[in-house]
Structure 1
Amino acid sequence: MRIGLLTDGGYPYATGESRLWCDRLVRGLPQHEFDLYALSRSAHQEEQGWVRLPPQISRVRTAPLWTSDDDALRGSSPKGLLARVLTGAGQSFGRRERRRFTEHLTELAATVCAAEDGRAGSPVAGVRFTEALYGLAELARERGGLHTALRSETTMRVLESACRARGTGRIVQTATVPDLLTFAAELERVLRPLSLDWYDEEGLGAVDLCHATSGGAAALPGLLAKRFFGVPLLVTEHGVHLRAHYLATPGEPFTAPVRALLAAFHGQLAAEVYRQAAIITPGNTHVRRWQERCGADRATLRTVYPGMAADRFRGVGESADDGGPDTLVWVGRIEPAKDLIALLHAFAEVRRAEPDARLRIFGAPVPGAEGDAYLATCRALAAQVFPDEATGAHAMGDNPVSFEEIGGPDVPDLAEAYAAGGVVVLSSVVEGFPISLVEAMFCGRATVSTDVGAVVEVIGGTGLVVPPRNPRALADACIALLRDPERRARLGSAARARALELFTVEQNLAAFRGIYLELISRSPAWREADAVDADGEPRPFATPPEAHVLGHWTVTRKPTAVPAGSGSRPPSWAEPEGVCANAGAGDGDG
């Protein structure tokens, strides 16, 4: 089977998101061939290079989701922004193309402005958005792209008219010209995949299945492959793209109208992705609930937990050593979302109840000034809370709190960090799938966690869970486990058994192996060109034996070419009467 793997800011870039998961997926399914279609997010990401690719990847095609003037556009004054955006007014469209572009963009803008809360909206609005999106895609395919058209004066007039129309949201109606210029630039950035040259018989038209590793821009090429060639689409989300957009926008230099417009557009796009996906695989139930809220059909949803390598933690997990029985361990990236401030306040309560208790914090700040500033704040708070006891870089002597990085002589690897304590703590206020919690479970450690994201789903009763932003509750749970070694051991053993059952690489690969086969059994690939070789002779095995079985087992019909935009593929063989379309999907290796 030939899989088109679609990524956005991820694999194969060394700094990409989910690159480890993608690499394990490709290497773990050697019976399949992968074509990689990757969007990059910045020049810095491209400069960092790629990871080493396995032989299963036969072709890589990349495209930037950025240009050199993107940052300049974001930081420009209204007058400078206007000058930059209007440089695209000279797009070489004829009168007919300009009319088509204006009509489709007007429809798209109208649906976005009427749904400023970012939800899917009415079915009618969804149809209008869909027709406008694919109309723009078809125009881009015919004319070689929409880059300058989406930054033209025509675009500005369309957006302004849509924002001022009756029935638009209250916030959107307050949009100023600079707001519209900013939104136009962001809209062009998100829609850049429409202008790529990936949509032909040698590109995405040649794959049997598109697997998008996230929603949003990564799924756009998959939507077009389905539209133009009938290629089935599989969407995997370990974190909801739309949710991430909501969380990120307050920190962006955008005004309220721009944020509302972007949220509305991404909401409409997410709804279309979920409508067109044959199967959607959320990484946990927390993500699944978000997807349902954004319009995903429950019948298409299959929860598949991200696989993690358990072998690296086997030594600690199988050891009878309880680590430091009086030591709490925290592991992760040091950033505000992890709420180390609440953890330090909670530890002050723990220290009063258990004077010998220690807290070891393993991690490094997120890159940038904000991460460094947050780490400095945490160090200062620790010194303030424990004024009579110095806090140093190592958990030695009388220091009750330590800030350490993994890789030194005392803690050479991640497993040793978890082995350093009897209880592992997670104090986050925002969390998706808690990777550090699963790692602690592989190590057989009892855990205390805040009730955020997928924590309760991951723990499943094998650890203690408390409300976020509640240092008193966090302290009480830690004290309870520090005082009860038998309970710690019991919870740790149960946690390890649960992690080995649900969260390993092997279970993840088994799930996708079955899903791939199921999808291809529903929509078998058929291309007339594949049935014959270069000399016009029949290609061996091009037509499966089932196609020649006579009688009631088949329905005789001649395969026909797929019309562009039909969204379906003709079968390569007739389906047996009375037999489920995915019967036997779990048999064989593809």
Structure 2
Amino acid sequence: MYSRGTIYCQYNYYLVKYYALFFITLILVKLYNFTPLCSLCNSTKAFTQDGDTMRNDRIKVMLTTEGTYPFHQGGVSTWCNFLVEKLTEVDFTIYSIIMNPFVTQKFILPSNAGMIKVPLWGTEEPSEHLTTPFSKVYTAKRYTDKKIVESHFIPLFQNLIEEIINFKKNPLKLGGVLSEMYKYFQEYDYKNSFKSEAAWEVFKGIILNYTNDGRNKLAQPSVFDLIQSLGWIYRFLIILNTPLPRVDVTHSAAAAFCGIPSVLAKLENRTPFLLTEHGVYLREQYLSLSRRGYSSYLNTFLIRMIHSVSSLNYALADQVSPVCVYNTRWEKMFGVHPGKIDVIFNGVDQELFSMRQNIQKNPHPTVVAVARIDPVKDLITLIRAAVIVKDRIPDVRFIVYGSVSVPEYYEECLALRKELALEETFIFAGHTDDAPAAYRTGDVVALSSITEAFPYSVIEAMMTEKPVVATDVGGVKEAVGGCGIIVRPRSPEQFAQALITLLEDPEMREALGKEARERALNYFTIERALELYLNSYQKLAFGVAEPKVIPLNLKRQKLLSEKGYALAEIGHWREAISQFRLAIDAAVDSTAVPVLLTEIARAYNNLGNFDMAFNELEKVEAMVEYLENNRIA
């Protein structure tokens, strides 16, 4: 007979060995591209009969956006529209986070795309945007009483607030809290929970205790500050009150709040998560702080909340694909493993942006900028450069095509234009639906931004065979290469001199324009970008860069193992063992067999049958060795 201590030690030995072998199996799956059965068991893909195989016809992707597609114009929206319109073999669900429900939709979705709209403001009830039956909403409100809030919601809420305000971030902890909150709001009411007296008292207590310690570097808040910061949490996390669709891959357009649905899908459904970064979201928020006029407390609170969300995206994304190499330095700084980073440059339509020979010559030397009227585009510098260029080339014209994003900034630009007597020289032409024609009206294309990622305006100009003068920000230098002139940001004198050089030398303009188009054709076509994104979807969804064909014996193995997992989940260990053994027999050479054997060992451990657990672990070792040898052979 074994003593209790002997049994306990033996149990721990088997348990440690079980997990060690389990992780060895997962490593082999990763290194040798084995197809783990768990990826099949949790798949929601539709299969159709194809001879002796079952084949997936279409990939389902949830594309998440924030303040962009399909409700606003801009580079990110252009990128989204390319993906959705051109990848016709993919079924998209657009999960669009918008400021309010009254925003006008700017893009018409194609037939392969549906949409979930999530307005953060402009609604009285957080469930107004949902199709949830009134009876369910009413029931949730009815059952969300003080006792439920204090016992179920408040512990999660407390962890959430502590994670947001802490300078050191724990993204896995935050992900777990958000996942549990998402489950909570499937049953209980969002508004009654967040706006409860208990939530206010806990929030106030945590913040005041934290700010009393000077080492935490968070200023003392006013009552208004407390209300405002809690209001931000309430509004931004309405995402947690929105049910998720079942898809094969999620794709977030930023490491921002729009990445939270992707995080939830990964934690809830094990859905692979692709993150694209156009700009660096956290950096952009830092740059915009000075314009907001918030108190010190609100500035710090907001940045720490955004830092938490960005870190969460980076930690849980399976693939991080910035649109330029420049962004990778930020991602690595925030802990993204280099192996997860795969740069995919933006691309443009080479036919749409071709240089047509029948364009009439400009009556005046002309500089064109395609940019929205926004402080980050730094049109003030371009206006100041224009007055310098005009002194040298009196008949020069500057034309800016773009909508007004920040009215106050537009007024500032108009005032400076008037002060410098440039009303006839510097023209705001408004938004254009024909960007190629806009570029063709210029001799030189200018970009004066103080921050960018990989701007479409640069590669579109290059594809139109136009030389570019641009500021050295983001991935601009990567795009331009040696086919234009790069200048310092916020330097009107240097910008003006570069423009004068090109405007006075038509041969240089022509040579740089031809080189620019050649470079764009080699690196920045929409076809190249679409191919890389489709390959990424296929790789994440199936483990290979082409649609996965699953033999019928693996299909049977999948079904049997699903039964085993379901039985194990409710504690029916012996029945689970039986189903796992049938699953192994269905495809004995499958790379999923080691995983199934470890599940059988786990079941025996739970039954207290340690000898049988040990036998199964021995089989795992042998099977792993067999699979590895076959791979090498």
Q: Which amino acid aligns with 1:2?
A: K
Q: Pick the aligned partner of 2:627 from 577, 581, 588.
A: 577
Amino acid at match of 2:456: I
Residue 374 of structure 1 is matched in structure 2 by 412
Q: Which residue of 2 aligns with 1:363?
A: 401
**What 5-or-longer segments of structure 1 have no aligned partner?**
71-87, 116-120, 393-399, 533-545, 562-573, 582-590
CA deviation after TM superposition for structure 1 residue 183, in Å: 0.6
Q: Give every structure 1 segment of 4 or more consecutive aligned residues whose post-TM-superposition deviation is greater than 4 Å.
A: 14-17, 88-91, 166-171, 318-325, 400-403, 523-532, 546-554, 556-561, 578-581
Letter matched to residue 347 of structure 1: A
8 A Cα contact 1:163 1:173, kept in partner: no
Q: Is the 8 A contact 1:160 1:180 kept in 2?
A: yes
Which aligned pairs between 1:382-531 and structure 2 lie closer than 5 A?
Answer: 382-383=420-421, 391-392=423-424, 400-405=425-430, 413-522=434-543
Q: Where do residues 238-249 of structure 1 align in structure 2 (5 Å cutoff)? A: 238-249=278-289
Aligned to 1:111: 163
**Following superposition of structure 1 onto structure 2, how do residues 310-325 of structure 1 map, counting pairs within 5 Å?**
310-316=350-356
- Name which one, 1 or 2, has greater alpha-carbon Rg: 2
Relative to structure 1, is the Cα distance of residues 190 and 18 closer, same or farther in structure 2, using a 3 angstrom cutoff? same
Structure 1 Cα separation of the partners of residues 98 and 557 of structure 2: 33
Q: How many residue pairs get matched?
A: 505
Q: CA deviation at 1:474?
A: 1.5
| Root mean square deviation of aligned Cα | 3.8
Question: CA distance change for structure 1 residues 36 and 168 in 2, over 3 Å: closer, same or farther?
Answer: farther
SS of match in other structure, 2:627: coil
Could you say what secondary structure the match of 1:577 adopts? Answer: helix
Could you say which residue in structure 2 is the equivalent of 1:163? 207
Q: How far has the Cα of 1:511 moved from its partner? A: 0.6
Equivalent pair of 1:328/1:360 in contact (CA under 8 Å): yes
AA at the equivalent of 2:292: E
CA shift for structure 1 position 498: 1.4
Normalization by structure 2: what TM-score?
0.70
1:14 Cα deviation after fit? 6.1
- 3-state SS of the aligned residue for 2:115? strand
Whether the aligned pair in 2 keeps the contact of 1:90 and 1:148 (CA below 8 Å) is: no
2:87 aligns with: 29
The answer as to whether partners of 2:372 and 2:405 remain within 8 angstroms in 1 is no
TM-score by length of 1: 0.75
Q: Do structure 1's residue 302 and structure 2's residue 342 form an aligned pair?
A: yes
Residue type at the aligned position of 2:510: A
Give the residue type in structure 2 aligned to 1:53. Answer: L
Distance 1:580 1:41, change over 3 A: farther
1:43 paired with 2:93, answer no
| 1:521 CA displacement | 2.7
User: SS of the residue aligned with 2:227?
Assistant: helix
How has the CA–CA distance of structure 1 residues 17 and 43 changed in structure 2, closer, same or farther, with 3 Å as cutoff? farther
- Structure 1 residues 439 and 382: CA distance shift in structure 2, 3 A: farther
Deviation at 1:268, TM superposition (A): 1.2
Match status 1:146 vs 2:184: no
Q: In structure 1, what residue type is equivalent to 2:320?
A: I
**Aligned counterparts of 2:204 and 2:142: Cα–Cα separation in 1:** 20
- Residues 216 and 241, structure 1, Cα contact 8 Å, conserved in 2: yes
Task: Name 1:346's counterpart in structure 2.
Answer: 385
Displacement of 1:31: 2.2
- In the alignment, is the contact (CA less than 8 A) between 1:237 and 1:282 conserved in 2? yes
Contact (CA 8 Å) 1:6, 1:211: kept in 2 or not? yes
Alpha-carbon distance between aligned partners in 2 of 1:247 and 1:232, rounded to the nearest angstrom: 31
Distance (Å, rounded) in 2 between the aligned partners of 1:580 and 1:239: 44
Deviation at 1:184, TM superposition (A): 0.6
Distance across 2 between alignment mates of 1:341 and 1:185: 35
- 1:224 corresponding residue in structure 2: 264
Indicate how the Cα distance of structure 1 residues 272 and 441 shifts in structure 2: closer, same or farther if over 3 A, else same. Answer: same
Task: Render the CA deviation track for 1:308-352: whole Å, top value 9, x for unaligned.
Answer: 233222133x67987568433333223433333333332333333
Letter aligned with residue 43 of structure 1: P
Whether the 8 Å contact between 1:350 and 1:357 is mirrored in structure 2 is: no
Structure 1 residue 435: deviation in Å?
Answer: 2.3
Structure 1 pair 266/519, CA: closer, same or farther in 2 (3 Å)? Answer: same
In the aligned structure 2, how far is the partner of 1:14 from the partner of 1:480? 36
Summarize deviations over 1:506-542 as a string: whole Å, max 9, x none. Answer: 111111111111112339899999959xxxxxxxxxx
**Alpha-carbon displacement from aligned partner over 1:9-50 (angstroms, at most 9, x marks no partner):** 3434466883432232123222232233333321331xx246
Alpha-carbon contact 1:236-1:282 (below 8 Å) kept = yes
Query: Separation in 2 of the partners of 1:163 and 1:459?
Result: 48
Letter in 2 for 1:106: Q
**1:481 to 1:19, Cα distance in 2 relative to 1, 3 A:** closer
- Distance in 1 (alpha carbons) for counterparts of 2:266 and 2:328: 23
Deviation at 1:68, TM superposition (A): 3.4
Cα distance per residue 1:158-202 (max 9 Å; x no partner) = 22222233657554241222211111110011111112233xxxx
Provide the C-alpha distance between the structure 1 equivalents of 2:590 and 2:144, rounded to a whole number of angstroms. 57
Distance 1:528 1:272 in 2: 37
Q: Which has the higher contact order (CA 8 A, sep 6+)?
A: 2
Q: Which residue of 2 aligns with 1:196?
A: 242
Deviations 1:43-101 (A, max 9, x none): 331xx2463322222x433332223369xxxxxxxxxxxxxxxxx99982463652332
Change (3 A) 1:148 1:136: same
Alpha-carbon shift at residue 413 of structure 1 (Å): 4.3
Instruction: Quote the sequence identity (%).
Output: 26
2:109 aligned with 1:53, yes or no? Answer: yes
The 5-angstrom pairing of residues 131-142 of structure 1 reads: 131-141=176-186
Asked if the contact 2:178–2:240 (Cα under 8 Å) also holds between the matched residues in 1, the reply is no
Question: Does structure 1 retain, via aligned residues, the 8 Å contact 2:367–2:445?
Answer: yes
- Counterparts of 2:455 and 2:363 in 1: how far apart (Å)? 23
SS at match of 2:102: helix
The alpha-carbon distance between structure 1 residues 531 and 99, as it changes in their structure 2 partners (threshold 3 A), is same
AA matched with 2:337: D
SS at match of 1:494: helix
Structure 2 letter corresponding to 1:363: Y
